[in-house]
Amino acid sequence: MQFATEVLFKLVTDEGTKLRWGVIQRENMASELRAGKKPEGYRADWLRNTASIIIQVLGAQAQGFNTAYPYDRISINDLMDVLQTSYTRLKNIITKNS
């Protein structure tokens, strides 16, 4: 029983194990998408909810820009640039802190 408890404790506290589990879950979601299915579960829900929040923030920021600069207009390409820049910055932060 002690061994089982130690293994279970390691599974729920070891960051590497958690990250590997996340990789498996992401791969499963990707497979479901390729098969034309809508991924379900807590990760898929989190992903959709977080995407909705980010889209709302981007929309608000674009609206603010368009109001502040009436001679200019934010496009979908500008919003994609924001996401790409965010991705690059996030990757740099993670690399720097690894």
pTM higher than 0.85: no
Over the stretch 8-18, which tens digit does the pLDDT of each residue have?
666 667 788 88
pLDDT, tens digit, for every residue of 69-84?
Answer: 999 999 999 999 999 9
Alpha-carbon span 94 to 87, nearest angstrom = 11
83: Cβ contacts below 8 Å, ≥ 6 apart: 54, 58
Q: Which residues are within 8 A (CB) of 25 and not within 5 positions of it... i.e. 6 or more apart?
A: 41, 43
In 3-state terms, what secondary structure has residue 75?
coil
Q: Where are the domains of the chain?
A: 2-96
